């Protein structure tokens, strides 16, 4: 079928008999498929990890490793690669066993060119159906926030609760965990949703402009005030002001914010008219606000006004089970934006991504997927396409003849690599103190 071949499916044929391989290769190649051949299971595994393979055709009886081993490997590691088993011993049990093991079809020797082609086409058609089904899989999302892990379910509950209340909210979490997304979800899920949601970056307002930015100014209020300006709080009247990076607010900004919260009124710069404001405040921080309070860097009175409803968002590494779902969501989103073909991730790639610690959280995952969409051929992401720290976390899992010390060393090095060498963070994740970490690293160094 020309349409299938036009898509350039990659097929890996595995047989210890070189002649048989040549025949398969010729038949498939003639039909326009890309064909890679391999004479044994270990070599086939290597090829699978490096190339994007749509279909594996494997002989059953081979010296050392049988076709069953390969079928099991493929079905455990590549959810969208089809497998056809070929055997010279056509037995029902063998066929049943192969299907149970994850093979998609079965071909008995001797077979004709047409028989081979028909089984190949059927398998690829099934694969295509399976792929489009995956695409339309229902996502577990709450106002665009994806997650099915326990910690995220808790966040969803808090959002729902916060949306029905008018109390101020403090969202805390590491950079890239989705704080702004949560703030928007609260607003758009609340009775205020028809009024404005106004994000204010507290770290970016120069002291000289604090009042004018927050409360607005009258024309001619100061040099350069050429026109009347509406402040953030007025724009957000009846709606929500999102005070992002509140931990970075200057002392003068803190003082002004406290005043609005206490009095619920503003005075435009250059005016003496007091205006009542009804604005809900949702703030976010990636810093430990209480720690800033203790260090006298953040006003305690302001802290207690903001931190009424507390929504902590856990870092992605604490909810790694969401990684596959997020990957799917972000991939689909990207696809919609660019109109490109959807990307598929091999199971091993997904496993490696799930095991990775994501110091940049969901934003880091977004950036990775964006990068992959440019660099990856055929829209199929295999483990070899991933950045080294991610590959590292899974590359060596296969080796079962390693000592505990070797596994520990490797884990320490992986964690460190994933954090760009940050020893303080690594020690925190490993739950050991920095001194112990230093000693362990010294030992690793001297052993190598």
* Contacting residues toward ligand ATP, per CB under 6 A: 145-147, 173, 175-181, 286, 326, 329, 362-363, 366
Q: Are 246 and 284 in contact (CB under 8 A)?
A: yes
The closest of 137, 141, 231 to 182, measured between CA atoms, is: 141
Nearer to ligand ATP, 127 or 332 (CB): 332
- Minimum CB separation from ligand ATP for residue 202, in Å? 11
- Minimum CB separation from Mg ion for residue 367, in Å? 15
- Minimum CB separation from Mg ion for residue 215, in Å? 24
Nearer to ligand ATP, 306 or 326 (CB): 326
The DSSP element (H or E) to which 105 belongs, if any, is: strand 105-108
CA atoms within 13 A on the CB side of 56: 38
Nearer to ligand ATP, 329 or 351 (CB): 329
- Minimum CB separation from Mg ion for residue 170, in Å? 14
Tokens (6 digits) for 228: 């009347």
Nearer to ligand ATP, 208 or 321 (CB): 321
Q: Which does 181 bind (CB under 5 to 8 A by kind): Mg ion, ligand ATP, none?
A: ligand ATP
Q: Which does 159 bind (CB under 5 to 8 A by kind): Mg ion, ligand ATP, none?
A: none
Q: Which of 180, 218, 364, 395 binds Mg ion (CB under 5 A)?
A: 180
The alpha carbon of residue 373 and the mean position of all alpha carbons in its chain are separated, in whole angstroms, by 14
Nearer to ligand ATP, 311 or 390 (CB): 311
Q: Kindly report the CA angle at 332 between 327 and 336, in degrees rounded to 5?
A: 150
Q: How many other CB atoms are found less than 10 A from the CB of residue 133?
A: 9
- Minimum CB separation from Mg ion for residue 168, in Å? 18
Q: Which does 15 bind (CB under 5 to 8 A by kind): Mg ion, ligand ATP, none?
A: none
Nearer to ligand ATP, 176 or 359 (CB): 176
Nearer to ligand ATP, 139 or 441 (CB): 139
Distance CA 210, CA 217 (A): 11
With 0-12 / 13-18 / 19 or more C-beta atoms within 10 angstroms meaning exposed / middle / buried, residue 184 is buried
* Rama region for 270: left / alpha / beta (φ>0; ψ in -120 to 50; rest): left
Q: What's phi and psi for 65, nearest 5 deg?
A: -100, 135
Residue with tokens 């977004």: 366
- Minimum CB separation from Mg ion for residue 146, in Å? 17
- Minimum CB separation from ligand ATP for residue 14, in Å? 40
Tokens (6 digits) for 319: 């909810």
Q: Which does 395 bind (CB under 5 to 8 A by kind): Mg ion, ligand ATP, none?
A: none
- Minimum CB separation from ligand ATP for residue 180, in Å? 4
Tokens (6 digits) for 312: 């902590």
- Minimum CB separation from ligand ATP for residue 364, in Å? 9
Distance CA 437, CA 431 (A): 10
Distance CA 101, CA 195 (A): 57
Distance CA 280, CA 184 (A): 12
Tokens (6 digits) for 301: 């009175």
Give the number of residues written for the chain: 448
Q: Which does 285 bind (CB under 5 to 8 A by kind): Mg ion, ligand ATP, none?
A: none
Nearer to ligand ATP, 172 or 393 (CB): 172
Q: Which residue is nearest to Mg ion (CB)?
A: 180
Q: Which residue is nearest to ligand ATP (CB)?
A: 178
Distance CA 422, CA 140 (A): 34
Helix (H, G, I), strand (E, B) or coil at 216: strand
Residue with tokens 């100014």: 217
Tokens (6 digits) for 354: 């799930």
- Contact region for Mg ion (CB under 5 A) — 66-74, 145-153, 176-184, 255-263? 176-184
- Contact region for Mg ion (CB under 5 A) — 29-37, 39-47, 178-186, 363-371? 178-186
Q: Which does 177 bind (CB under 5 to 8 A by kind): Mg ion, ligand ATP, none?
A: ligand ATP
- For the chain, the 3-state helix, strand and coil shares in percent, each to the nearest 5, are 55, 15, 30
Nearer to ligand ATP, 216 or 314 (CB): 314
Does 395 participate in binding Mg ion (rule CB under 5 A)? no
- Contact region for Mg ion (CB under 5 A) — 8-16, 22-30, 163-171, 175-183? 175-183
- Minimum CB separation from Mg ion for residue 354, in Å? 24
Nearer to Mg ion, 128 or 180 (CB): 180
Interacting residues of 151 by C-beta distance below 8 A, sequence separation 6+? 314, 318, 319
Tokens (6 digits) for 400: 């079962």
Residues near Mg ion (CB under 5 A) = 180
């Amino acid at each position: 079928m020309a349409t299938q071949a036009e898509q350039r499916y990659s097929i890996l044929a595995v047989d210890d008999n070189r002649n048989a391989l040549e025949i398969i290769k010729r038949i498939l190649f003639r039909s326009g498929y890309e064909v890679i051949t391999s004479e044994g299971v270990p070599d086939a595994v290597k090829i699978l990890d490096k190339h994007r393979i749509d279909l594996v055709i494997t002989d059953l009886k081979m010296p050392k490793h049988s076709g069953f081993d390969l079928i099991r490997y493929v079905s455990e590691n590549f959810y969208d690669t089809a497998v056809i088993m070929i055997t010279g011993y056509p037995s029902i049990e063998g066929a049943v066993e192969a299907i149970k093991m994850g093979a998609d079809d079965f071909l008995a020797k001797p077979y004709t060119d047409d028989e081979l082609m028909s089984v190949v086409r059927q398998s690829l058609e099934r694969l295509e159906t399976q792929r489009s089904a995956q695409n339309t899989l229902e996502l577990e999302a709450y106002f665009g926030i994806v997650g099915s892990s326990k910690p995220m379910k808790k966040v969803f509950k808090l959002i729902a609760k916060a949306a029905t209340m008018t109390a101020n909210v403090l969202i805390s979490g590491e950079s890239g965990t989705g704080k702004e997304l949560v703030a928007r979800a609260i607003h758009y899920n609340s009775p205020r949703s028809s009024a404005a949601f106004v994000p204010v970056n507290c770290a970016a307002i120069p002291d000289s402009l604090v009042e004018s930015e927050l409360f607005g100014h009258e024309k001619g209020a100061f040099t350069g005030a050429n026109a009347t300006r509406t402040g953030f709080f007025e724009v957000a009247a009846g709606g929500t002001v999102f005070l992002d990076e509140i931990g970075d607010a200057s002392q003068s900004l803190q003082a002004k914010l406290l005043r609005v919260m206490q009095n619920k009124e503003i005075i435009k710069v250059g005016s003496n008219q007091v205006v009542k404001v009804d604005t809900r405040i949702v703030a976010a921080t990636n810093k430990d606000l209480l720690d800033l309070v203790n260090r006298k860097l953040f006003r305690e009175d302001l802290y207690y006004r903001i931190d009424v409803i507390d929504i902590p968002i856990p870092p992605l590494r604490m909810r790694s089970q969401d990684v596959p779902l997020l990957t799917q969501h972000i991939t689909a989103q990207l696809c919609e934006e660019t109109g490109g073909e959807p990307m598929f991730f091999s199971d091993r790639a997904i496993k490696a991504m799930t095991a990775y610690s994501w110091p940049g959280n969901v934003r880091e995952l977004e950036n990775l997927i964006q990068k992959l969409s440019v660099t990856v051929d055929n829209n199929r992401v295999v483990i070899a396409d991933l950045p080294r720290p991610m590959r590292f976390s899974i590359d060596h899992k296969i080796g079962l003849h390693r000592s505990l010390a070797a596994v520990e060393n490797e884990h320490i090095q992986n964690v460190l690599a994933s954090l760009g060498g940050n020893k303080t963070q690594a020690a925190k994740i490993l739950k050991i103190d920095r001194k112990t970490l230093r000693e362990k690293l010294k030992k690793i160094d001297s052993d190598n």
